[in-house]
Amino acid sequence: MGILNLTPDSFSDGGKFASPDAAISRAEEMITEGVDIIDIGGESTRPGSGRVLAAVEIDRTAPVIEAITARFDVPVSIDTTKSTVAEAAIAAGAEIVNDISGLRFDERTAGVAALHRSGLVLMHSRGEFEAMHTQPPVEYIIAEVESDFQRSIAGAIRHGVEHDRIVLDVGIGFGKTLNQNLELIARLDRIGSEFSGYPLLVGASRKSFIGKLLDGAEPRDRSSGSLAAAVVAVTRGARIIRTHDVKQTVDALKVATAILEQS
C-alpha cells in the first residue's frame, strides 16, 4: 500500500504531492514500482495536526482519485475518518476506506463501506483526533489492541460490512511507546491468531520510533529502518505494508520472501 498524502502538512512529505499533477505523477511512479494499493489522504494525522473540514478533504482527494482510477488499473483507498469523505471518495472511484479511528470518530463510515461493498481498514488508536499521539500509554498494549479490534469489528458487522472485507491495522505510533511499537510488530503473529480471517496491515514507514532507534534520524532518513520493520512484520504475518518507499519495500520483501521459501 503506497502512501499518497495530498496535505500541505504531512510529517514526511508535506506539500510534495499536494497539487493534482504532482499527485497523479507520483501515483504513476508508484505503479511502475509495484504498488498494489494507493492510499490517498487529505487530512494529516501527524502529531500536532488539526482537523480539516470534510469539504476540504473532499476537494483535495476526490479529483485525484477520479483521475487515478480513470487512467490506471489500481485499487485506491481513502484515508479518512469521516463518512462523508468516504462516500465522496467511493463515488470518485475508491474501493477501500482506511479509518485510523477504527470507527470511533464516525461509525457511519461502516455503513458507507457496507452500502458500496468496499474494503474497510480498522486501525487501533486512542483519544480524540488532536490527542491521539499524546495519550498516556496503556500498560498492556497487546490486550488493548485486541480489545479495540473486537469493538471495531463489532461496529462494522453491525452496519453490514462483510467479514471478508475487513482489514486490521495495529496502529504503529499513535500514543504507543517505543517498546510497545516494537512489541506489536514482534508479536503480530499472536494478534493474527486471535483474529484469523482478518488480514493484518502494518504502517511503520518513517514513524518516530524508527527515528529514535536511529539516533534521531529525520523522517526522510528512516527508509532503511522502515524496510527492516516491514520485513519483520511480514515474517510475523502482515499481509499489507503501508509505505512511503514503494520500490524499496517491494524489493526488500521480494528478497526476504525468496529466502524464507527455502527454509
Closest residue by Cα to residue 38 from 8, 5, 76, 66: 76
Average pLDDT over residues 71-100: 98
pLDDT of residue 86: 98
Structural domain of residue 171, as residue ranges? 2-260
Q: Quickly state the pLDDT bin for 137 (edges 50, 70, 90).
A: confident
Question: Which phi and psi (to 5°) does residue 12 adopt?
Answer: -105, -45
Query: Which CATH number do you get for residue 100?
Result: 3.20.20.20
pLDDT of residue 49: 58
Average pLDDT of the chain, as a whole number: 93
Between CA 172 and CA 203 the distance in angstroms is 6
pLDDT of residue 136: 84
Between CA 18 and CA 25 the distance in angstroms is 11
Q: How many domains does the chain have?
A: 1
Residues tagged active-site: 207, 242
Q: Quickly state the pLDDT bin for 8 (edges 50, 70, 90).
A: confident
pLDDT of residue 185: 98
Average pLDDT over residues 234-244: 97
pLDDT of residue 206: 95
**DSSP state, residue 189:** H
pLDDT in tens, 168-225: 999 999 989 999 999 999 999 999 999 999 999 999 999 999 999 999 999 999 999 9
Average pLDDT over residues 247-259: 97
Q: Quickly state the pLDDT bin for 47 (edges 50, 70, 90).
A: low
pLDDT of residue 48: 63
pLDDT of residue 10: 55
Give Cβ neighbours of residue 19 (< 8 Å, ≥ 6 apart).
none
pLDDT at 58 over 90: yes
Distances (CA, A) of 121 to 102, 236, 247: 8, 19, 23
| Sign of CA pseudo-dihedral 203, 112, 131, 11 | positive
pLDDT in tens, 11-36: 555 556 768 899 999 999 999 999 99
pLDDT of residue 114: 98
Average pLDDT over residues 127-148: 85
Average pLDDT over residues 240-257: 97
Do the Cβ atoms of 86 and 42 come closer than 8 Å?
no
